[in-house]
Amino acid sequence: MTYAYARISSRDQNLDRQLSAFRSFGIPPKHIFCDKKSGKDFERKNYLRLIRKLKCGDLLVIKSIDRLGRSYDLIIEEWSRITNKILADILLLDMPLLDTHAKPCSLVGKFISDIVLQVLSFVAENERENTRARQAEGIAEAKRKGVRFGRPPFRYSQSFLETAENYYRKTISLEDALLRTDLTRSAFYYHYYKLCNSGIFASVH
């Protein structure tokens, strides 16, 4: 049986290129497993589902090594688990040399494949570390220039404070409070309990 695995790190990326490559290879959609999660480890819902399905003699197709993962040690370990313990094969579409289905015809061939795997795994993790370093440098530079990160603080109007206090004193109903603040129930409760925890109402007599 032939399966495929695709991965992207965030929701603003898309799987189109990987899925198109799998379709060209003739893999049916029901045999393609996708995750939208970081490659720092293998704790990914659909990847784990795929691993449970893999059997001896199956073929796992991946677009490139960094779609499998971004950790050098974990990639090497996972590759060994699939090929040596599960006894399934792996094909990297972007690097046909790493096709364990086409067994190296000599010890030298296997040696070269092992070196290529280690180099690609190193590159995958190195790119991840460089990206994190660039992000940290960018954030530090932005902070130096006065850029503030995170959600801007919610400014409570006098009207909101009075409505929240009246609700706290049970002089108005929840429906009245929502109508006056034009907030959803969950949004009102979020800010209401935030004010309650601050002790602001207890200090008002």
130, 128, 117, 126: which is closest to 91 by C-alpha? Answer: 117
Residue 3 has which token pair? 């399966």
Angle ∠(55,73,20) on CA atoms, nearest 5 = 55
Q: Is 64 a catalytic residue?
A: no
Catalytic residue among 9, 10, 157, 198: 9
121 Cα distance to chain centroid: 19
Q: Facing residues of 4 across strands?
A: 32, 61
Residue 110 has which token pair? 């296997």
Q: Tokens 């959609």, residue?
A: 29
CA distance linking residue 49 with residue 139, whole number of Å: 36
CA distance linking residue 74 with residue 190, whole number of Å: 41
86, 97, 24: which is closest to 60 by C-alpha? Answer: 86
Which CA distances in Å does 45 have to 68, 125, 128? Answer: 13, 21, 21
**What is the set of active-site residues?**
9
